[in-house]
Chains A and B, each alone.
Chain A
Amino acid sequence: MSEPSIGEAVDLEALVHHASQITSDLQRLWQEALDDTRRSEVGEQLRARWSAVVTAINEASKALTERLESRGLDPRLPELLPFSAQVATFSLDPTPEQALRQAQMGLLVAFDLLSMALGELLREEGDGEQPNESRDWDPSAFAIARERAIMVSNLAGFVSQAEANLLGDARIVASATPPALARLSMARAAWSHGDAEAACVHLHVGARLLIGDLLSVDSSALPVDIAEHLLAQHGQSNLGALLKLLQRSVETVVTGAETDLAVVTVLVPNLLMALDDLALRPPVELLRKAFADVVDSKPQ
């Protein structure tokens, strides 16, 4: 029998989901602080599950290296993290080979970030300078590990897509979470960290994706000023008014100016509710009328 080879995970996002679930359980147990034995068992599960995520990312990277070598391409990345000398050469309109390199570097930076969070979570009791210190976790460490793992999973998808564009035969497993809902989830995460401006950016992208999904059109086909279209169709639209404010706020962020902190702080929770409502009870007819030009021009 040859040396065991693990190979790529069937679905990296599912592994992250599996690991995140136990993280939530452990967090709850830790907060309840009732049973040391049970805590220890869940702690072992935590290590095993996150180890599987880390192994899967390494295996994916190894497999990509082999595929690139077999096509005569150099799999080596030009320098070590954080790729300071390379970033100036990055392009937002790259060639397929360049896109793959950029995606690989992005994945490694995200993986480094995840590793730091996991290092904190998976540290054994008694590690560090004080061998007998009582093991305790900052509750935010769990959330940080989950969010960084999602980031890694998303970037792994980017790498697969870039590989498919370059080599034509990558194995791509799409995310189980629709992009619009993933953006709303990221907006919630940013909001929970007190970062209203980041939440605004995610909401801006999420709203477009969601409306695109509801109308079954690509969100890039929607007009830039979606708020104006909604208001033109329905002057009293609360969603239209909120989206208009959102667009202005994001434009301010893009120009590098200070946003009105009070406005974005009130805006974010209201928009989160409005977009949840839009997903749950979509006013499809109103949306169809508001974006009639896009819907009507959609190829049948």
Chain B
Amino acid sequence: MSGPRRNRLGLARERTPIVRFGDVDIASSAEAINTREGLDVLPEAQLRLKLSTTPDSADYLAPVVIAMREGGLEHELFQGSVLTAVLEGEYAVLKCAGGQLLVESLMGRFAAAFMTAPEIAHMAARAAGLDEDRIVIPALEDLPLQTFEVLTGLEGIEIDTPIQLGSVRLLPAGTAEPLAAHIDTGEETDLVEEFLGARAYALSLVTETVAYRAESDALAEIDWALAWLSVHLRYGLVRLPDGRAQPFSRVAARAQPRRGPLVGGRALQTGGRWIHAASSQAALTVAGQDALQSSAIPNSPSSSLRQAVLAARRAADDLDPIQRIGALWEAIEFLVRGIGAPTPLARAQRKALRLKLIDVLPPEHHERVDRLIALINEAPLMDKLRLLIERDSIPFSAGDFELLKSLREVRNEALHGGDPTAGPKPEELEHAVALLSRIIFHTAERTARGDGGDRG
């Protein structure tokens, strides 16, 4: 595909290319657009961006959509992510690819036995973050309901007899052999050996039809049990809540029980089994010279910036989407610390309101009155974020705000209203973390210029 073609006779309908990074339209800056797709390859696209006209809010980490508008209709030609942007004079030459989340979080090291191709395909697609309703594999419907053993190596735990923790059973070293039997490791010769070498295991049993669903349910149970165990280990009172005295070891109290890098599963009716790198996390990649040479670290960062960056790292790394969103908003709270917003109540109004309230309330409630009046004057977090973005001239689109707002709602629902009905899509979370990085960078830059002050 190339730019708009001539239509001298006016017979062909006008065709206009559409190129968007998230909700930012960059079509007017895009040239030499080429897209390609086929049954045997992931979709690809290439284009050149004229830097002088590219909007500031264009973000390489936002989802890329290339489409053609023709006669009022929009035909999507490509959907994916930017892989590389190479600077060439006044242009950036972009290579894009579709299905990138699939490639980035593919299970990597994987070995299996007695599993059918549809089961493996489903596992790979779900592990890559595709929604269940986007995967159509009819053969999965014919699989029997059966019990799966899901076993993951543990770090930070050493036991010599099994321990039942709710529905999860912690097992000592040397108990995983039956699951690994018959697995042909192919080129991954050390995979089984590494799996069998764990110092302890967590076993969860799930009765399901599809292997991936069984594994996800089991890992959620195991993660919950390990999180609980971490909390329990840090309980330091001499007696437990039921009155029993508890033994104590400082070393144990500092332990961090967590899943090892590999997970194995086995279906106890069909015999299908697998071992793979236990990653719903993206595959680890490496940042090279080009990516790092433009890095600069702020000198003497404020404590709020430091804490914001640490929280942002959790937002980027954590396995659980709700935890990631929580960390993202925690980072934003640090960033907006000290942002002054217009207050609805002036000093005199506050004073008058206080006098009225303490007149009718007993003294023990007066401190509460002060706090509530202060709360009325406290701007909502979204408002403070808008002010920060305006103050630091951070490129931010309406869609960017909408994304953060929707994640705030997910967080609030999870925190106050029960289980969120629909979690964010992986690509939305990745984009939100990119937005957070954008805010941090611009805020740090402003501070470095000396016009932001140290709010820490």
Are A11 and B203 closer than 8 Å at their CB atoms?
A: yes
Beta-carbon contacts under 8 Å, A39-53 to B: 44-45, 47-49, 51-52
Min C-beta distance of A214 to chain B, whole Å = 12
B57 contacts which chain A residues (CB < 8 A)?
A: none
Are B162 and A176 closer than 8 Å at their CB atoms?
A: yes
Chain B proximity mask over A110-131: 1 for CB below 8 Å, otherwise 0: 0000000000000000000000
A92 at the interface (CB under 8 A from B): no
A263 at the interface (CB under 8 A from B): no
- What count of chain A residues pass the 8 Å CB interface test? 34
Chain A proximity mask over B396-408: 1 for CB below 8 Å, otherwise 0: 0000000000000
Q: How many A-B residue pairs have CB under 8 A?
A: 100
B167 contacts which chain A residues (CB < 8 A)?
A: 18, 21
B181 at the interface (CB under 8 A from A): yes
Are A174 and B161 closer than 8 Å at their CB atoms?
A: yes
B interface: dominant SS: loop
Q: Among A5, A6, A7, A15, which residue has its beta carbon within 8 angstroms of that of B205? A: A15
Q: Check A173/B269 contact, CB under 8 A, given A1-B114, A10-B151, A15-B147.
A: no
Chain B proximity mask over A1-43: 1 for CB below 8 Å, otherwise 0: 1101111111101110110011000000000000000000000
Chain A proximity mask over B256-291: 1 for CB below 8 Å, otherwise 0: 000000000010111110000000000000000000
Are B162 and A175 closer than 8 Å at their CB atoms?
A: yes
A280 contacts which chain B residues (CB < 8 A)?
A: 242-244
Are A4 and B272 closer than 8 Å at their CB atoms?
A: yes
Q: Tell me the nearest residue of chain A to B163, going by C-beta.
A: A176
Are B169 and A176 closer than 8 Å at their CB atoms?
A: yes
Are B145 and A48 closer than 8 Å at their CB atoms?
A: yes
Are B268 and A55 closer than 8 Å at their CB atoms?
A: yes
Q: Among B145, B164, B181, B203, which residue has its beta carbon within 8 angstroms of that of A7? A: B181
Are A52 and B147 closer than 8 Å at their CB atoms?
A: yes
Are B176 and A18 closer than 8 Å at their CB atoms?
A: no
Q: Tell me the nearest residue of chain A to B270, going by C-beta.
A: A4
B76 at the interface (CB under 8 A from A): no
Min C-beta distance of A216 to chain B, whole Å = 12
B454 contacts which chain A residues (CB < 8 A)?
A: none
CA distance A21 to B151 in the complex (A): 19
B: contact size bracket: 35 or more
A49 contacts which chain B residues (CB < 8 A)?
A: 147, 207
B309 at the interface (CB under 8 A from A): no
Q: Tell me the nearest residue of chain A to B148, going by C-beta.
A: A52
Min C-beta distance of A172 to chain B, whole Å = 9
Q: Check A176/B269 contact, CB under 8 A, given A10-B176, A21-B167.
A: no
Beta-carbon contacts under 8 Å, B405-426 to A: none
Q: Check A173/B147 contact, CB under 8 A, given A51-B269, A55-B268, A56-B268.
A: no
CA distance A128 to B161 in the complex (A): 44
Are B182 and A48 closer than 8 Å at their CB atoms?
A: no
Are B175 and A10 closer than 8 Å at their CB atoms?
A: yes
B163 contacts which chain A residues (CB < 8 A)?
A: 176
B453 at the interface (CB under 8 A from A): no
**13 additional A-B residue pairs with CB within 8 Å, beyond A6-B266, A18-B167, A51-B146:** A5-B114, A7-B271, A10-B149, A11-B169, A11-B171, A15-B268, A45-B145, A48-B207, A49-B207, A55-B269, A174-B162, A176-B161, A281-B244
Residues of A within 8 A of B (CB): 1-2, 4-11, 13-15, 17-18, 21-22, 44-45, 47-49, 51-52, 55-56, 171, 173-177, 280-281
Interface pairs (6), CB distance under 8 Å: A6-B271, A10-B151, A11-B175, A11-B203, A14-B162, A176-B164
